[in-house]
């Protein structure tokens, strides 16, 4: 082994020790991490796993996602197959009725997911949609006791309060990218609109789930801005989406990522947010490909089954992957692993 490789190994191990002793990863270290070489990748992953293991052991949290309202969205988010500017041939429907949402909850429970994510397309919900979701959430809580995360777009304060009062535990609203790059991917609402909704949800007493999408043409600095902004917002859960470019969307045919860079990005998230749940979210299968299991050395959560408008690998394959790693799914209960 060359002396350079020895020095590098020591460096990532030292960075992990620094993080474990309570000294956060600096922005400069984050940039170095994103630019690190392929030959350092296993050392970086091993060091990152020390941090992951300290806070989450070998546990994996599963999330099950229901697209409760699909397409028909007036917004122009460039990555999204449901936007008004997308020609992608997706299923389009208005808000799902109680039966469909309850079936999704039963599927979440039988898939060993602790959290049921109810996701609706659109700029934000109508008051009637909020009332509908509130009624169904009360039933889901009574029947299945699942943790509920709602992703309904931009929220007004009174809507957020009604959702919190009905038992919604968490609101998902992703930053997606940096403030600087935001207008390159969406012009119909602003980055600040997204921050405002997160603040409204937090004031109503709900936890925040917010993450990013990488692979949209952003720079390393944009990724770092987003990752550190999420830290300032004190989010409890971070979904890391890897762009799955869909034909018919403005970002079709974009393939900026390779599996090794995806792993580096997951390591960055873990080292900046040591005790926060990090989820490998949309685009896991198509971007990490044969290396997706390795992502769980940094992240501690995945979606089981499908995404909003794209298929994921089967739940059986997810369970096999977790078992092959020697990791275990957290079943039942709502408390975070520590």
The residues binding ligand SF4 (CB under 6 A) are 73, 75, 77, 80, 82-83, 121-123, 153
Q: Which is nearer to ligand SF4, 77 or 212 (CB)?
A: 77
Smallest separation (angstroms) from ligand SF4 to the CB of 181: 15
77 appears as a binding residue in the annotation: yes
CA–CA separation, 308 and 100 (whole Å): 15
Q: Which is nearer to ligand SF4, 84 or 275 (CB)?
A: 84
Task: Choose among 69, 66, 51: nearest CA to 303.
Answer: 66
149 appears as a binding residue in the annotation: yes
CA–CA separation, 272 and 115 (whole Å): 24
Residue 8 exposed, middle or buried by CB count within 10 Å (0-12, 13-18, 19+): middle
Residue with tokens 């080292």: 271
Secondary element (H or E) of residue 90:
none
* DSSP labels, 300-336: -EEE-S--SSS----HHHHHHHHHHHT-EE--S--PP
Buried-state track 322-337, b at ≥16 Cβ within 10 A, e below 16: beeeebebbeeeeebe
186 appears as a binding residue in the annotation: no
Cβ of 296: how many Cβ atoms within 10 Å? 21
Q: Which is nearer to ligand SF4, 80 or 208 (CB)?
A: 80
Q: Which is nearer to ligand SF4, 69 or 270 (CB)?
A: 69
151 appears as a binding residue in the annotation: no
CA–CA separation, 244 and 137 (whole Å): 30
134 appears as a binding residue in the annotation: no
Smallest separation (angstroms) from ligand SF4 to the CB of 96: 15
Smallest separation (angstroms) from ligand SF4 to the CB of 89: 16
Q: Which is nearer to ligand SF4, 112 or 237 (CB)?
A: 237
Smallest separation (angstroms) from ligand SF4 to the CB of 74: 7
Smallest separation (angstroms) from ligand SF4 to the CB of 76: 7
Residues marked active site are found at: 73, 77, 80, 117, 149, 209, 279
Contacts of 50 by beta carbon, 8 Å cutoff, 6+ apart: 13, 16, 17, 20
CA–CA separation, 276 and 52 (whole Å): 9
Instruction: Retrieve residue 236's tokens.
Output: 């409890």
117 appears as a binding residue in the annotation: yes
As annotated, the binding site includes: 73, 77, 80, 117, 149, 209, 279
As annotated, the binding site for [2Fe-2S] cluster includes: 117, 149, 209, 279
As annotated, the binding site for [4Fe-4S] cluster includes: 73, 77, 80
């Amino acid at each position: 082994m060359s002396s350079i490789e020895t020095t590098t190994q020591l460096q990532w191990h030292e960075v992990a020790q620094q993080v474990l002793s309570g000294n956060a990863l600096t922005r400069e270290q984050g940039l170095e991490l994103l630019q690190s070489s392929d030959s350092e990748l296993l050392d970086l992953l091993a060091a990152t796993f020390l941090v992951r293991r300290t806070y989450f052991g070998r546990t994996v949290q599963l999330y099950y996602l229901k697209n409760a309202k699909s397409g028909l969205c007036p917004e122009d988010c460039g990555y999204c197959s449901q936007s008004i500017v997308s020609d992608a041939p997706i299923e389009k429907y208005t808000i799902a009725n109680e039966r469909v949402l309850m079936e999704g909850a039963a599927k979440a429970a039988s898939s060993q997911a602790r959290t049921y994510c109810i996701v609706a397309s659109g700029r934000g919900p109508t008051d009637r949609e909020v009332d509908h979701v509130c009624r169904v959430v009360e039933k889901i809580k009574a029947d299945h006791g699942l943790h509920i995360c709602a992703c309904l777009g931009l929220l007004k304060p009174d809507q957020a309060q009604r959702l919190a009062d009905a038992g919604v535990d968490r609101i998902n609203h992703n930053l997606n990218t940096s403030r600087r790059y935001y207008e390159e991917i969406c012009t119909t609402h602003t980055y600040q609109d997204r921050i405002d909704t997160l603040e409204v949800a937090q004031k109503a007493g709900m936890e925040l789930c917010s993450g990013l999408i990488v692979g949209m043409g952003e720079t390393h600095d944009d990724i770092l801005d987003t990752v550190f902004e999420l830290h300032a917002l004190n989010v409890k859960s971070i979904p890391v989406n890897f762009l799955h470019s869909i034909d018919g969307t403005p970002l079709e045919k974009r393939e900026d990522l390779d599996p090794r860079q995806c792993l580096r990005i997951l390591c960055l998230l873990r080292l900046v947010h040591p005790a926060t749940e990090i989820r490998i979210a949309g685009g896991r299968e198509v971007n990490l490909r044969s290396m997706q299991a390795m992502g769980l050395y940094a992240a501690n959560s995945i979606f089981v089954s499908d995404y909003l408008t794209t298929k994921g690998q089967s739940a059986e394959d997810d369970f096999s992957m977790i078992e092959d790693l020697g990791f275990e799914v957290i079943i039942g209960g709502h408390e975070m692993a520590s």
